[in-house]
Amino acid sequence: MKFFIDTANLEQIKEAHDLGILDGVTTNPSLMAKEGIKGSEAVMKHYVDICEMVEGDISAEVISTDFDGIVAEGLVLAALHKNIVVKVPMIKDGVKAIKYFTDKGIRTNCTLIFSAGQAILAAKAGATYVSPFIGRVDDMGADGVELIYQIRRIFDIQGYKTEILAASIRNALHIIKCAEAGADVCTCPLDSILGLLKHPLTDSGLAKFLEDAKKFA
Ligand code: G3P
């Protein structure tokens, strides 16, 4: 399973990258706004900065909701850097735009996926990635990880090449469960990635080793 970081924060991207496990980055308008980036020039520069930090797929999201607008925005984003993946929402014009981009060889990430039916449509349109939002599914009282299992089964049966990019990850357990469910990629906040490091027996075991090492130092 590939690890992407789900942030537009350059310090956090650097920290995950320095860990040596980072395969890519996903952003969205909320994450960009959180960094206080204003104006399309600054937004474009920020995407390029991220592309220069991480060698891997970088998702940049369109904010238009009509076919012509999505296509115009996506072409600009795709031209910024070879690693940009155009992130398109799961709406009717979004599906049409994904097919357009697929035919042009431009890679896409279909975002805001909450059902297997949506994932099937995006895969049929040729999306490179589908992004099921598992944390938000959990928030509704349903099972986000079960959605990953279901999409995995369907994609395997149907032979769809679209990668399942588990998104809206809230904790380390989500990452483990997504790996178990067969997600191709998990995009995570830095805290959830770092949460994988933690175990109290590791901490107490290391403390004991270091204590005992003093006996022969
Ligand atoms: O990748 C999508 C993600 O950013 C949404 O996460 O926590 O806002 O549901 P969240």
Which of 168, 178, 192 most suits a substitution to test ligand 1, by most atoms within 8 Å of the C-beta?
168
Q: Is 167 in the pocket of ligand 1 (CB under 6 A)?
A: yes
pLDDT at 46: 97
Q: Is 6 in the pocket of ligand 1 (CB under 6 A)?
A: yes
Distance (angstroms) between ligand 1 centre and the Cα of 189 equals 9
Residue % of the chain over a pLDDT of 70:
100
Q: Quick one: three-class SS letters along 117-139?
A: HHHHHHHHCCCCEEEEEHHHHHH
Residue 201 pLDDT class (50, 70, 90 cuts): very high
Residue 217 pLDDT class (50, 70, 90 cuts): confident
12 vs 189: CA distance, rounded Å: 9
pLDDT at 195: 97
Do 144 and 136 meet the contact criterion of CB atoms below 8 Å apart? yes
Angle (nearest 5°) at CA 133 between 132 and 139: 140
Distance (angstroms) between ligand 1 centre and the Cα of 152 equals 20
Residue 114 makes CB contacts below 8 A (sequence gap 6+) with 90, 132, 133, 136, 137, 147
Q: Which DSSP symbol is given to 25? A: E
Distance (angstroms) between ligand 1 centre and the Cα of 216 equals 50
Which of 3, 4, 5, 6 most suits a substitution to test ligand 1, by most atoms within 8 Å of the C-beta?
6
Q: Is 59 in the pocket of ligand 1 (CB under 6 A)?
A: no
Do 188 and 175 meet the contact criterion of CB atoms below 8 Å apart? yes
Q: Is 26 in the pocket of ligand 1 (CB under 6 A)?
A: yes
Report the pLDDT averaged over residues 60-87: 98
pLDDT at 136: 98
pLDDT tens-digit readout, 98-129: 999 999 999 999 999 999 999 999 999 999 99
- Identity at 1, one-letter amino acid code: M
pLDDT tens-digit readout, 79-100: 999 999 999 999 999 999 999 9
User: What is the atom index within ligand 1 of the atom nearest the CA of 26?
Assistant: 1
Residue 135 pLDDT class (50, 70, 90 cuts): very high
Q: Is 136 in the pocket of ligand 1 (CB under 6 A)?
A: yes
Residue 87 known to be catalytic: yes
